[in-house]
Amino acid sequence: MTVLMSNAGQGAELRDLLVEALGIPANVRWFDVRFAAGEPVSVRCEFMPTPVDEPEDDDSAPSHTSLDG
């Protein structure tokens, strides 16, 4: 069995190759890849959602005031 650390050397090279080849987004906390004979390759990951930008104020938007005021 070979053990590689993902933060240095061949482990980092392999991580970078897989991230690029699989299109793993930058906000991923971790991912794993499973290769099994006769089965599709499976990828699992956990990621942090990216913040959603708040819409800018739009003066042309309709006003929601009541008809009385």
pLDDT in tens, 34-50: 999 999 999 999 988 87
Please report the pLDDT score of residue 57 as a whole number. Answer: 62
Per-residue model confidence as pLDDT tens digits over 19-29: 999 999 888 89
What pLDDT score was predicted for residue 50? Answer: 75
pLDDT value for 36: 96
> Given this model, what pLDDT does residue 47 score?
83
C-beta separation of 47 from 28 below 8 A: yes
**pTM of the predicted model over 0.75:** no
| pLDDT attached to residue 40 | 95
Q: Where are the domains of the chain?
A: 25-49
